[in-house]
Amino acid sequence: MPPSEDAQLLLRIVERHLRSLNFGPDEQFPAEDWGFTAQQAVEKLLKCWIVLADGEPPRSHELDLLASEANLELNELLLVLQPFAVDARDQDGDFKLPVSRARIVEEIQLLADQLRQAIEAGANTSP
């Protein structure tokens, strides 16, 4: 399968995550669960960039590592979602989102749109 088809497959999963995120803007929806879905969307987007460049994404949830592998400077607002990958899922505590849910979705959507454009253009490099 060409890298662009692999990236499109991952992008469809990201789009599913974005739909879920848009259903959970209510603050009563646990930040830990919402943040996990947001972190997963970012993680998959970074892996999409790696795949699109015909690379093999590492088996990692670390957003900074994945951003480096993808040759992307990831917005700090998205990098701080890292604790939601494992810690917020598996520990009891008060995990706060760094900014509003709407702002996080906006940043994830921006990254997804950039990826979609790169796939459509047949590009094999990050933005």
- In the chain the domains, ranked by start, together with CATH numbers, are 3-121 (1.20.120.330)
pLDDT per residue over 104-121, tens digit each? 999 999 999 999 999 988
What pTM value is reported for the model? 0.85
Instruction: For residue range 51-77, list pLDDT tens digits in order.
Output: 999 999 999 999 999 999 999 999 999
Question: H/E/C letters for each residue in the chain?
Answer: CCHHHHHHHHHHHHHHHHHHHHHCCCCCCCHHHHHHHHHHHHHHHHHHHHHHCCCCCCCCCCHHHHHHHCCCCCCHHHHCCHHHCCHHHHCCCCCCCCCCHHHHHHHHHHHHHHHHHHHHHCCCCCC
Residue 3's pLDDT band, with cuts at 50, 70 and 90, is confident
Q: Quickly state the pLDDT bin for 27 (edges 50, 70, 90).
A: confident
